[in-house]
Chain A
Amino acid sequence: MDISKNTLPVLKIENLKKSFGDNHVLNGFSLELYKGENLVIMGKSGSGKSVMVKCLMGLMQHDSGTIEIMGNKISQLSQNELNSLRTQVGFLFQGSALYDSMTVRENLEFPLRTHPERLQQKEVLVEEALENVGLKHTVDLMPDELSGGMKRRVALARAIILKPKIIIYDEPTTGLDPITSKEIIQLMSDIQQKYGTSSLIITHDIDCARVIANRIILLIDGINYVEGDFVQLSKSIDKKIQAFFK
């Protein structure tokens, strides 16, 4: 895929720092995500991947550094501006995070609440989103009636219902069997092709990275330790990098 780095990045993190007391999780992490790109962030469990994306979405306050989403510095936005920017970014949570007191339909309709203009065509949007993930028949089920893989797919449908320009996936395949993982990965690339979104994918699933990544950044010791494509990184002789590709 041809990714032109001449354009401005849709998402930019510069020198991000975040600590919890003495636990320095992020020590100056930076990344740039370009239009149409699949950027994979890999890192060990507990290395701060989820913390990084939470700072990115303004769910957590970062200590220092700048975060820009489509040219807007998020720390300078008002709550309303931040909210409207957030609807241009889809977010797939690590544990799916479906609202368990609502049906699948209500789950998918929830992001539309703040968009009165799209509320009128909600039936169509819900149907389209579920069709994309192949789960049209589950529309009236409750989340606890779904399997883990189905939940992940419904969550994906919810993340794309507003047709966001950027999608952030926090460990989309963790906890799923290899076959279901493959299906999810396939869905991710289908959606990317269909809507031309840019994706930021957090994972420690090497197969997922191999299939989907245009570029990989390794998050080690709280910084972007190294950056490159799959082939480059897998040939590296650095022990810390090799550990990921065994």
Chain B
Amino acid sequence: MSKASIHLTNKIESFFEEIGELSYFASRFFKELFSRPFEIKELLRQCYNMGNRSLLLVGVTGFILGLVFTLQSRPTLMQFGAESWMPNMVSISIVREIGPVIISLICAGKIGSGMGAELGSMRVTEQIDAMEVSGTNPFKYLVVTRILAATLMLPLLIVFGDAVALLGSAIVENLKGEVSFLLYFNQVAKALSYSDIIPATIKSIFFGFAIGVVGTYKGYNCKKGTVGVGEASNAAVVYTSMLLFIIDFIAVFIADIFFEV
């Protein structure tokens, strides 16, 4: 075999190895999730930290997203004389797709890389070993709480981000199209149905889980040295982002079957 093909097979092999290890890691999460002790205090602390640290970022991103999206779609809709459809179009595309995906990507950068770096440096400086010898299960204390916190917090952050995005959009409509806020949000409420909200929420739970699992997996299994920490945090973002799109694709596929319009 040529050098290049050996290199390629090695790459593919290690890719599947990685998938296997990641699945094992995720299954260990479920196993340890339901066994005592439940680290409730640490879980709440993680939830608070994640929410608190990402709130501003998600808010700003959401706001700009709604603003820009509306500004750019206006001319096209106006050509068809369909400006009155603006709230419908914006709310459906944001709640169904753009909101969850963009906000999850932002959180993959913020939360996922944070987990990779934090757990990575704890691994490298032997803090995880120190926990283990002091009789605390580090997987439960560090990993389970973080994955769970991300799974719980991401849907909330997405709801918040969606709301701010719609607010941004309403402001544009209010200034440019002289649509009152009341009218705008009335129309949004009419436009959105359960078949928009339920799949989006389920999807965002999976997004949160993916961010948590990949971030903690990369950090927890970090290689020695400071280079390892950088790699862990970087890989957490890259792999999570890719995984988010894959989950999104699957989710849209399934939602299409169940919520056929």
Q: Does B126 contact A (CB under 8 A)?
A: yes
Q: With contacts A98-B127, A100-B127 known, is A89 near B136, CB below 8 A?
A: no
* Distance of A57 Cα from B128 Cα, bound (Å): 13
Contact A93 B130 (CB under 8 A): yes
Q: Which of A10-60 contact B (CB under 8 A)?
A: 54, 57, 59
Q: Does B13 contact A (CB under 8 A)?
A: no
A111, closest chain B residue (CB) = B134
Give A77 Cβ to nearest chain B Cβ, in Å: 13
Chain B residues with CB under 8 A of A111: 134-135
Contact B130 A97 (CB under 8 A): yes
Q: Does B131 contact A (CB under 8 A)?
A: yes
Contact B135 A87 (CB under 8 A): yes
Q: Is the interface of B mostly helix, strand, loop or mixed?
A: helix
Chain B residues with CB under 8 A of A93: 126, 129-130
* Distance of A158 Cα from B127 Cα, bound (Å): 13
Q: Does A94 contact B (CB under 8 A)?
A: yes
Contact B129 A97 (CB under 8 A): yes
Most buried by A among B126, B127, B135, B136: B135
Number of A-B residue pairs having CB atoms within 8 Å of each other in the complex: 51
Contact B130 A87 (CB under 8 A): no
Give A124 Cβ to nearest chain B Cβ, in Å: 19
Contact B133 A59 (CB under 8 A): yes
Contact B134 A114 (CB under 8 A): yes
Contact A110 B134 (CB under 8 A): yes
Q: Which of B106-133 contact A (CB under 8 A)?
A: 118, 121-122, 125-127, 129-133
A97's partner among B118, B125, B137 (CB-CB below 8 A) is B125
Contact B126 A97 (CB under 8 A): yes
Give B75 Cβ to nearest chain A Cβ, in Å: 50
Size of chain B's interface in residues, with CB distance under 8 A? 15
Give B134 Cβ to nearest chain A Cβ, in Å: 4
Question: Closest 5 A-B residue pairs measured CB to CB?
Answer: A111-B134, A97-B130, A97-B126, A114-B135, A83-B135
Interface residues of A (CB under 8 A from B): 54, 57, 59, 79, 83-84, 86-87, 89, 91, 93-95, 97-101, 110-111, 113-114, 158
Contact A57 B133 (CB under 8 A): yes
A110's partner among B122, B126, B131, B137 (CB-CB below 8 A) is B131
Chain B residues with CB under 8 A of A89: 133
Contact A95 B126 (CB under 8 A): yes
B134's partner among A54, A79, A87, A95 (CB-CB below 8 A) is A87
Give A237 Cβ to nearest chain B Cβ, in Å: 38
Q: Which of B131-153 contact A (CB under 8 A)?
A: 131-137
Give A108 Cβ to nearest chain B Cβ, in Å: 11
Contact B127 A54 (CB under 8 A): no
Q: With contacts A97-B125, A97-B126, A99-B127 known, is A91 near B136, CB below 8 A?
A: no
Contact A91 B130 (CB under 8 A): yes
Contact B126 A114 (CB under 8 A): no
Could you give 10 example pairs across A and B, Cβ below 8 Å? A57-B132, A59-B133, A79-B137, A83-B137, A87-B135, A93-B129, A94-B126, A99-B130, A111-B134, A114-B135
Chain A residues with CB under 8 A of B127: 97-100
A114's partner among B121, B122, B130, B136 (CB-CB below 8 A) is B136
As a 0/1 sequence over residues 15 to 26 of chain B, the CB contacts with chain A under 8 angstroms (1 = contact) are: 000000000000
Chain A residues with CB under 8 A of B121: 100
